[in-house]
Amino acid sequence: MGKNTQTNRVTMATIANSFNPREIDNTDDIPGRRAPLVTGNQTYGSVTDIVCRVAEDAQPMLWWVLFGFSSMTAVSFLTLITFLIYKGVGIWGNMNPVFWAWPIVNFVFWVGIGHAGTLISAILFLFRQNWRTSINRAAEAMTIFAVICAGIYPGIHVGRAWLAFWLLPYPSLNLWMWPQFRSPLLWDVFAVGTYASVSLVFWYMGMIPDLATYRDRSKSPLRRMVYGILCLGWTGSSRHWLRYEKAYTLLAAFAAPLVLSVHTVVSFDFAVSQVAGWHTTIFPPYFVAGAIFSGFAMVVTLLVPLRAIYKLENLITLRHLDNMNKIILATGSLVGLAYATEFFMAWYSQNQYEGFTFMNRAFGPYWWAYWTMVTCNVISPQLFWFKKLRTSPFWMVVISIFVNIGMWFERFVITVTSLSRDFLPSSWGYFRPTLFDGLMFFGSFGVFMSLFLLFCRFLPTIAMSEVKGIMSAAAHSEHAEGAHGHNH
């Protein structure tokens, strides 16, 4: 933060950035006067226009290029899955003793990505962080698509994917038996299942009023009918709004602990075991922090191009991005703190297995993965201490991609280093991924991006009704402040 320009920036919050005339710096508040969350003198109608145009106008060339590429990747991913089911999981690099390799790494990676969406929509809602309104919809969509990608890996890793429903407790007439509820892997089924379905409900419910807007702006009868059915005949009645808001708040109150529980249960998969490097009590909160960290990085990676392509800079403003980058910085530092605590405790416990595992992580055969992780996860977000980088779309995308790489490596380091050097030295081994591991990880990005692009194309990317709601509230508080000024 430049010292001499700080005052200027604060008092003249609407000075445009020099490099992009559309960018308005609203990242700073004058204490007592909130900077606007929506810039460019928007009205309710103009907000509707900006958001609806994304789906109503012909898509830009770039959309078609990206969609063509990502849908092709998605199709090849599905082909690879078919081949894997035909051939067996042996085409992956999973080996003895690293039975859990890339599939679980990818699973945890994708589930983690999903967390930011629910955090934005539920936890920031409970904390009355109004800036969430412009970004929550896209983030929630990202959550659902990420959870879909995540679910694929354990789904096909079970071997007989078509019998995955055996995980559920249903009365089977053939073999009268029940799942093993004392296993964390079954907790995962319940946690991820609940998370996916509740996120979907939350996302859909949030979209109902906006789908009604889409319906009412539709020119073609088909669109009108489809959106009309999707929005369940929403009218915007105040009685409906009252119950809707109550329901939304309740859902937020459920989703907030739910999102914590999901990555907590994922961390239990590792931490209830006795494997050194996995069994440590800080895993639950540390996994949650890491998940939020990676999720926000993914939101930034997606939203910066999104707002540029669809010209949403006035709704997804620099302030939104700045805030997200601050959260990345905070959670990144938390993750760093957890690494340090783990290392300290490995020494403090004087447990030879713990001590060995952590030395092995940093200086063993997978040292490169460990130091990639530390560089990307702990060091690169520290760049966000500089406001210049926090508010530069280019640099924030670069750093957030680094963070995503780092978080993938974190899961790799945890899974592979601990397993490849476990208690029995005679079974030690060195895990090497196969081509299929790599291709299938890449392919999941195709699924993710295709779904996200379709979402932009057909569904409201910004929660219009919520943005209008905070515009109305902001107008009222301005009014109240004016009155207050008179009294002084």
Partner 1 sequence: MNLNYEKSTIELPESWRAKAPILLSAGLILLCIGFLCAFGGSSTGEDNQQGFKYLCHSYLANFVYVFSFTLGALFFILVQFLTRAGWSTSIRRVAEILMMMIPYLALLFIPIIAMLFAGSSALYEWNGKNIHSSVIASKATFYLSKEFFTLRTVIYFTYWILTANWFFRISRAQDESGDAELSLLRQKWAGPLIMLFSLSASFAAFDWLMSIDADWYSTIFGVYLFAGSMMSFFAVMIVINMLLQNAGKIQKLVTVEHFHDMGKFLFGFVMFWSYIAFSQLVLIWYANIPEETFWYQVRLDNGWMTFSYCIIPIHFIIPFLFLMSRHIRRNRTALTIGAVWLLFAHWYDMTFLVMPNAGPAQLVPLLGHFLGGIGMLSIFASMFIWRADGVPLVAMRDPRLPEAMAYTNPIL
Partner 2 sequence: MSEHKPRKTTEKKVPKAFGWMAEYQDENSLLAAARKVRDSGYTKTDAFTPFPVHGIDEALGIKPTILPFIVLCAGLTGLSTALLMQWWMNGVDYKYIISAKPFGITPASIPVAFELTVLFSAFTTFLGMIALNQLPKFSNPVFTNPRFDRATNDRFFLYVEAADKYYNRDSVKELLGGTHPDSLDEVLEDTTPSALPRPIILGTILLVIAGLIPAMIILNIRAGYSTAPRFHVFFDMDFQPKKKAQQTTTIFADGRSMRPQVKGTVGRGQLEEQDPFYLGYDPSKLTAIDTLETGKFVSLQEPKATDSSAASPASGLTSDGSAQTPAAPSATLNLPWIDKLPIEVNEANIAVGKQKFETYCSACHGYAGFGDGLVHKRADSLAQGYWLAPTSLHVDKVRSQPVGQIFHTITKGQGKMASYASSLNPKERWAIVLYVRALQKSRNADLSEVPADMVKTLDEVK
Q: Is 245 in the site for partner 1 (CB under 8 A)?
A: yes
Q: Is 143 in the site for partner 2 (CB under 8 A)?
A: no
Q: Least distance (Å) from partner 1 to the CB of residue 328?
A: 13
Which residue among 247, 340, 359, 480 contacts partner 2 (CB under 8 A)?
A: 247
CA distances to 120, 312, 320, 393 from 303, in Å: 14, 10, 10, 10
Instruction: Give residue 213's identity as a one-letter amino acid code.
Output: T
Looking only at residues 256 through 275 of this chain, which bind partner 1 when binding is defined by CB under 8 A? 257, 260, 264, 268, 271-274
The rounded distance, in Å, linking the Cα atoms of 143 and 118 is 7
Q: Least distance (Å) from partner 2 to the CB of residue 376?
A: 31
Phi, psi of 309 (to 5 degrees): -65, -45
Looking only at residues 317 through 336 of this chain, which bind partner 1 when binding is defined by CB under 8 A? 326, 329-330, 333-334
221: exposed, middle or buried (Cβ count in 10 Å: 0-12, 13-18, 19+): exposed
Q: Which two tokens stand for residue 476?
A: 């009222």
Contact indicator for 100, 278 with CB cutoff of 8 Å: no
Contact indicator for 252, 261 with CB cutoff of 8 Å: no
Q: Least distance (Å) from partner 2 to the CB of residue 87?
A: 8
With CB cut-offs between 5 and 8 Å by kind, which of partner 1, partner 2, none does residue 350 bind? partner 1
Q: Least distance (Å) from partner 2 to the CB of residue 239?
A: 6
Is residue 41 left, alpha or beta, with left meaning phi > 0 and alpha meaning psi from -120 to 50? Answer: left
Contact region with partner 1 (CB under 8 A), list: 83-91, 165-173, 343-351, 406-414: 343-351
Contact indicator for 362, 417 with CB cutoff of 8 Å: no
Binding mask 180-199 for partner 2 (x = CB under 8 A): xxxxx-xx--xx-xx--xx-
Q: Is 172 in the site for partner 2 (CB under 8 A)?
A: no
Q: Least distance (Å) from partner 2 to the CB of residue 146?
A: 19
With CB cut-offs between 5 and 8 Å by kind, which of partner 2, partner 1, none does residue 21 bind? none
**What is the DSSP code string of 344-394?**
HHHHHTT-HHHHHHHHHHHHSTTHHHHHHHHIIIIIGGGGGGSHHHHT-HH
Q: Is 251 in the site for partner 2 (CB under 8 A)?
A: yes
Binding mask 15-34 for partner 1 (x = CB under 8 A): --------------xxxxxx
With CB cut-offs between 5 and 8 Å by kind, which of partner 2, partner 1, none does residue 234 bind? partner 2
**What is the DSSP code string of 398-430?**
HHHHHHHHHHHHHHHIIIIIHHHT-S-GGG---
Which residue among 179, 284, 355, 364 contacts partner 1 (CB under 8 A)?
A: 284
The rounded distance, in Å, linking the Cα atoms of 439 and 73 is 9
The rounded distance, in Å, linking the Cα atoms of 472 and 461 is 20
Instruction: Give residue 47's identity as a one-letter amino acid code.
Output: V
Q: Is 359 in the site for partner 1 (CB under 8 A)?
A: no
The rounded distance, in Å, linking the Cα atoms of 123 and 255 is 8
With CB cut-offs between 5 and 8 Å by kind, which of partner 2, partner 1, none does residue 238 bind? partner 2
Contact region with partner 2 (CB under 8 A), list: 100-108, 213-221, 291-299, 314-322: 213-221
Binding site for partner 1 (CB under 8 A): 1, 6-7, 10, 29-34, 126, 128, 184, 245-246, 249, 253, 257, 260, 264, 268, 271-274, 279-285, 326, 329-330, 333-334, 337-338, 340-342, 345, 348-351, 385, 477, 480-481, 483-484, 487-488
